[in-house]
Chain A
Amino acid sequence: MAFLEKKGVAIGFLILCILFSVFILGGNHLNKQKKALFTAFEEGVPGVGFTAADQVEHIKGQGLNMVTVLKSSDTDYDKTINRLEECAKKIDNGKSPDEKIIGAMEMYTVIFDVYSSEVDRSSLDDKGKEYIIGIWAEADAGVRFIITSGYQAMAADFNQQLKGFPASLISSVRGLQAATVYQITT
């Protein structure tokens, strides 16, 4: 094996080992971290009863309740109904916590739009309006839970790690994306 005794070959092996360790093994560790986020989303963090996944489902449920209310009333909310149904599909089809949360947040936005427009227009009767307020309050609580949940804290921590060196380089090479983190602004 005279080939292996060449210094150039040995140095090439060393360089390959370094690249493999940093980009492949280091990238795998980052992937594991991201998978841990999935677990945290689905199973929650210790000491907290609800999980972020539960809350996403809860928001979806509120959105579908709103669809039922709007469909049964004599209003022009067709486009809004479509948007709500699309958001429900997004949540169902979402393959990662990020995609599901994005669907839930969009749904929450539509719910909020209906809620705020009803305050001005009053196209629903009192019972319908009361129902809408209830839906919005439930969805709002769900969103606040997600934002303040341990999952979001983990996602923020993961993103922080991705910003450092050499994680930023590894993530760009391996195509790893930061997790979506929401903050309460209002």
Chain B
Amino acid sequence: MIEKKVKSILPIYAAGAAWVLFGLIFPLYRLSNLLIAIVVSALVYLLLVKILPERTILVEAPPAPVDTGDREVDVMILSGRQSLKKMEEVNKALPGTKISGQITELIQYGRKIFEYVEKDVSKARNIRKFMDYYLPTSLNLVENYASLKTEGIQGENVDKAVEKIESVMDTVVEAFKNQLDGLYEDQTMDIVTEVKVMESLLKREGLSGGNLSMDMNSLSSGQNRGGENGVS
């Protein structure tokens, strides 16, 4: 959200009121009176615009322009962000529900994924499947869920569909999380390698302790869980 200064709406109402007041006193079927009424209402409007201070309101920030240097990636990121935006809109219709929290998580993971790809364009290929299938399918599921819930349709089939979507949402959230995690694979791999080299050097120099080795092992095992294959 960003702050935006907007002009007061009151002068427009005042201009309308000026028309009615003028019309009550002077016959507006005469062209001369009609022209005077236009001038009077315009004056009322301009005067109030000058007098009344501008209001500060919070508005949604416009989507930041994407410029990664690769047109195709730019389009992909914009399209993905649009899908997340739609998901956010749909989520507004489901306040206070468990699924609403899950959708919020999906959106957060999704945003981080696109932020990452925007910084490192080479990762765009890693999210191809996510863009082509997982994200649109998730959006479709969420839209259908909201539609069934808000329209208040009841019936065996509808209840089954709703339950099915609710049950799959945890898996979808996990998949988004893994997708994000997978993007860090190379980075963590580099870290692990670097640490291993450092560890062996320290050992060779006789400077190492036991704790460092244990920490490195846990980082290495965490890294292996990431990657595109983690999305199911």
Task: Flag whether A48 is at the interface (Cβ < 8 A).
Answer: no
Q: Taking chain A's interface residues, is the majority helix, strand, or loop, or is none over half, making it mixed?
A: helix
Q: Which residue of A lies closest to B37 (CB)?
A: A21
Q: Which residue of A lies closest to B16 (CB)?
A: A17
Q: Which residues of the other chain, B, contact A171 by a CB distance below 8 angstroms?
A: 29
Q: Taking chain B's interface residues, is the majority helix, strand, or loop, or is none over half, making it mixed?
A: helix
Q: Which residues of the other chain, A, contact B23 by a CB distance below 8 angstroms?
A: 20-22, 24-26
Task: Flag whether A141 is at the interface (Cβ < 8 A).
Answer: no
Q: Which residues of the other chain, B, contact A29 by a CB distance below 8 angstroms?
A: 27-29
Q: Which residue of B lies closest to A164 (CB)?
A: B31
- A165, B9: Cβ atoms closer than 8 Å: no
Q: Give 1 or 0 for each of B1-37: 1 = CB within 8 Å of chain A CB.
A: 0000000010011011101101110011111001001
Q: Which residues of the other chain, B, contact A63 by a CB distance below 8 angstroms?
A: none
Identify which of B16, B24, B34 contacts A16 (C-beta below 8 A). B16
Shortest Cβ distance from residue B38 to the other chain A in the assembled complex, whole angstroms: 9
Shortest Cβ distance from residue B37 to the other chain A in the assembled complex, whole angstroms: 7
Identify which of A18, A33, A161, A166 contacts B19 (C-beta below 8 A). A18
- B9, A7: Cβ atoms closer than 8 Å: yes
Within 8 A of A (CB), among B210-224: none
Q: Which residues of the other chain, A, contact B13 by a CB distance below 8 angstroms?
A: 4, 10, 13-14
Within 8 A of A (CB), among B23-67: 23-24, 27-31, 34, 37
Task: Flag whether A44 is at the interface (Cβ < 8 A).
Answer: no
CA distance A113 to B137 in the complex (A): 93
Q: Which residues of the other chain, B, contact A10 by a CB distance below 8 angstroms?
A: 9, 12-13, 16
- A-B complex: 8 closest residue pairs judged by Cβ atoms: A21-B23, A17-B16, A29-B27, A25-B23, A26-B28, A10-B12, A167-B29, A14-B16
